Amino acid sequence: MKFLTILFLLFYTFSFGQNGFEISNPKKTVIPFKLINNLVFIPVNINGVDLTFLLDSGVSETILFSLEDKEVNFNEVEKIKFSGLGESLDIEGLKSENNIINIGKDYKDYQHTVFIILDERINFSSHVGIPINGIIGYHFFKNHRIEINFTSKKITIYNEEKIFNNRQKRFTEFPITIEGNKPYMMVDVEMADKKANSKLLVDLGNSDAVWLFPKLIENFEYNRPNIDDYLGRGFNGDVFGKRSRIRGLSLGDFTFDQPLAAMPDEYSIQHLRLVPNRKGSIGNEILKRFTVIFDYPHQKLLLKKNKNYNDPFLFNNSGLDVQQTGMTWQKDLVTIETKKSANFPGNTETQEQRERFQYNFSLKPTFTVAGCRKDSPCYIAGIRKNDQLISINKKPVGNMTMQKINNYFKEEDGTKIQLEVERNEQVLNFIITLVDPIPYQK
């Protein structure tokens, strides 16, 4: 599966005031998070109801698009329209003001505005593997220094100057600008042989290393080899474009060789309202290699290397895009050992006879092929869209997470993977050989 790139952007034609989050703890507060497919998911409580949101510095407002089976009472609701990344122009939604949001024990906003998307297609839970209810962005960051530790999977929000000053000494500081409620920084992008200092959105909601907008870059040429690919989903539909590798990317003295780059086509960005001179985005495939501190009040980004810094930039070499399509009851054979019978004359029961077997039924996820890139290993092997995965390398996928499934497809070139699928009530077996379709070439 290609890691779903979440690049939701909210635009609106009105303005309003919002006090924002406050910390009740005088020093700092810590919030645990889940890291799935390079994306950060945090617990968010809205008006007393526990939900899960994507933390995304690339959005201006707090957006809710799914409640699953939960019910939230929203305050002061009115109809509005959204526009954003994708091929269509507008979708309808609601704006709700003066809601109470709690994140963790000590981080609260008592007058929070939530935008509600009514289109049920705007939901990426199936590509993540857990229920996702919405996205929270600028207002999470705007009042405090926010540290994201990708190795411990904890967010620290600082409320005391002395504690933060002691912490920041080990970090490298970069200037950022906050424009349209989003952070931007200058990054050296080296396509082939020349570095270009480029203005990029710092986008926590983007699971790729870097996005570049070819139409906005003078004399842009696609590196070869490249592939046409599905890049993700925005408010207004699927986003398509090309993927390849660039020669390098540098943030000051931090340098990365041959990172993967996604380049959305012109139709996907035609309605996107861009800040002046923006050339693309830097995403979590880069940011996860650091402990990151967002300091919106002072317009700074602070970075410190972590253990992921030298990880290779891996691609899904299978061509498969897998999504979770539901849950199903499955049976597992369970052995129950009974107590040994007492020894007495005439007892001929053997140990094997004393063991009891029964089926244990449990609810497990089902995974389906959402797409198979043309001419990729999965396509050549014969796997097609809507095939239901049964096993990978003879291991049932019902016991796997989406993250584990994705990891199988990012092994090195030449790795063989055995896939068992169900198609039209028929079980089929395939062997695919992984091949990187976009190795960097000078």
Q: What is the pLDDT of residues 98-147, one digit of tens each?
A: 999 999 989 999 999 999 887 666 666 667 777 888 999 999 999 999 99
Q: Options 3.40.190.10, 3.40.50.300, 2.30.42.10, 3.40.50.10490; which CATH number does 320-433 get? A: 2.30.42.10
The closest alpha carbon to 417, from 402, 403, 426, 406, belongs to 406
E strand or H helix at 150, and its extent? Answer: none
The architecture (CATH level 2) of 177-288 comes to: Beta Barrel (2.40)
**Alpha-carbon gap, residue 18 to 145, rounded angstroms:** 18
Name the token pair of 348. Answer: 């001929």
**Alpha-carbon gap, residue 330 to 425, rounded angstroms:** 16
E strand or H helix at 87, and its extent? Answer: none
β partners of residue 186: 199
The closest alpha carbon to 224, from 249, 196, 254, 246, belongs to 246
Cis omega (within 30 of 0) for bond into 225 = yes
Q: What are the tens digits of pLDDT across the range 325-336?
A: 876 656 555 555
Name the token pair of 31. Answer: 């919030």
Whether the per-residue pLDDT at 5 is higher than 70: the answer is no
Superfamily of domain 5-173: Acid Proteases (2.40.70.10)
Quick one: DSSP state of residue 164? H
Q: What percent of the chain has pLDDT over 90?
A: 56
Instruction: For residue 62, count other CB atoms closer than 10 A to its CB.
Output: 26
Domain(s) labelled CATH 2.30.42.10 in the chain stretch across 320-433
Quick one: DSSP state of residue 311? -
Q: In which residue are the tokens 């972590």 written?
A: 306
Whether the per-residue pLDDT at 349 is higher than 70: the answer is no
Q: What are the tens digits of pLDDT across the range 376-419?
A: 999 999 999 999 999 999 999 988 888 899 999 999 899 999 99
Mean pLDDT across the stretch 203-214?
Answer: 94
Q: What is residue 71's predicted lDDT score, i.e. its pLDDT? A: 87
β partners of residue 330: 362
